[in-house]
Structure 1
Amino acid sequence: MFEQLTQFFMDYGIWGLFIVSFLDSFILPIPPFFIQIGLSLIEPESALRIATLAFIGSVLGAPVGYILGKWLGKPILQKILPEKWTALATEQFAKNGDAAVLIGSFTPIPFKMFTVLSGVFNYSIVKLMLFAILGRGLKFYLIGTLFYLYGRHAKVLLDEYLEITLLGIAVVVAIIWFIWNRRRKKRNQK
């Protein structure tokens, strides 16, 4: 079924990718990167245009996930989890939401989890959008640039190095965020 859905959207080309990227931000189980890679393999010279449409769709879908989390997520969460767990999760998301959203926007973890949870835990939609732009842009344009520069050979590079590269970037971002957050707290204490 996953392959059939992917092929269905591939048949619509870049507009299928745009729709998948939009829906991936809040509900669809198909990551847009499979379609982005497939389209970039077919037309490497258009890889940056393909990345741009995927990026725009993903960023436009982020507020939809946020609103769904705000409207539906909290009532569902309150029925499933004890109040103290919900309060703890809200507190933790308030403390570490910046890192979670930024890192989650370009790791293999489904982006919809972060957009919906941002709404559930009343995370700042402005920060969500900022980190979505940074993280999703980094991921889509990394893939697009590889195909633009290396053509079809980029697929080999992605197969071998994408996950480790994204994990490495996530670690670097986490370290930078940790240092920045500690400095900010020290300044606030003075």
Structure 2
Amino acid sequence: MLHNLVEVLKELGPWGLFIHSFIDAVIFPIPAFVLQVSLSILDPSAAIWLATVGYIACLLGTPFGYMIGKFAGDKFLNKILKKSWVDSATNMFQKNGEMAILVGSFTPIPFKVFTILSGFLHFPLWRLIAYAAIGRAVKFYAVGILFYLYGRAAAHMAKDVSLYIFLAAIPLLALVIWFKRRKDKKQKENETDSSNA
């Protein structure tokens, strides 16, 4: 039934991708990546436009996923999402929320897990949207640029795009984490010095 719905959305072209990307950030179990690739194969020259449509819709859907997590909470997570997804995402959040969202934007774990979990764990909405804007841009535009440059030949490359992005992003994410921890440490030291003064 879900695959039939994706086929219906495919018939709608960019509007179908808009709808798919929006509900992908909220509740839909099939990633918008699937439809983005299908539509990009049909018209590689429109791949950047499709990436833009998907990206904007995803960001618009993100607050709705957040609200589901905030108000429906644990019961909703365990009913509609795989326990392994929830456990993995929760572990990421406990270590570093910002990095969890950035990494989650282009891992195989559906992005809705991170939008819903952000609400459930009371992660600030503005920070969710800010980090989602970065991570989802990388995912959507990496696929769009591949198809725009290589045409239909990019179909084989697109399957592994999440892996390539993840591997390329590891050093950058490690650097961001290091700077953040260093900044937090200095801030705590300054607060301690102020309280002792």
TM-score by length of structure 2 reads 0.82
- Matches of 1:64 and 1:133 in 2, distance apart? 15
- Matches of 2:94 and 2:180 in 1, distance apart? 13
Q: Is the 8 A contact 1:107 1:170 kept in 2?
A: no
Matched with 2:180 is: 181
Matched with 2:116 is: 116
- Matches of 2:95 and 2:30 in 1, distance apart? 30
Residues 92, 155 of structure 1: alpha-carbon distance in 2 compared, 3 angstrom cutoff: closer
Q: Which runs of 5+ in 2 are unaligned?
A: 78-88, 191-197
- Please say which of residues 42-51 and 166-175 is displaced more in the overlay: 166-175
Q: How does 1:24-173 map to 2 (within 5 A)?
A: 24-73=24-73, 93=93, 96-159=96-159, 161-173=160-172
TM-score by length of structure 1 reads 0.85
Corresponding letter in the other structure for 1:115:
T
- Matches of 2:90 and 2:138 in 1, distance apart? 27
Shift of 1:107: 1.5
Report SS of the residue matched to 2:96: helix
Identity percentage of aligned residues: 42
- Matches of 1:172 and 1:114 in 2, distance apart? 22
Number of residues of Structure 1 aligned to a counterpart in Structure 2: 178
- Matches of 1:68 and 1:166 in 2, distance apart? 29
Residues 91, 140 of structure 1: alpha-carbon distance in 2 compared, 3 angstrom cutoff: closer
- Matches of 1:177 and 1:71 in 2, distance apart? 31
Offset from partner CA, 1:152-183 (integer Å, 9 cap, x none):
11112223x42430330342343123212221
Residues 153, 75 of structure 1: alpha-carbon distance in 2 compared, 3 angstrom cutoff: closer
- Matches of 2:92 and 2:102 in 1, distance apart? 15
Q: How does 1:1-20 map to 2 (within 5 A)?
A: 1-20=1-20
- Matches of 1:184 and 1:4 in 2, distance apart? 49
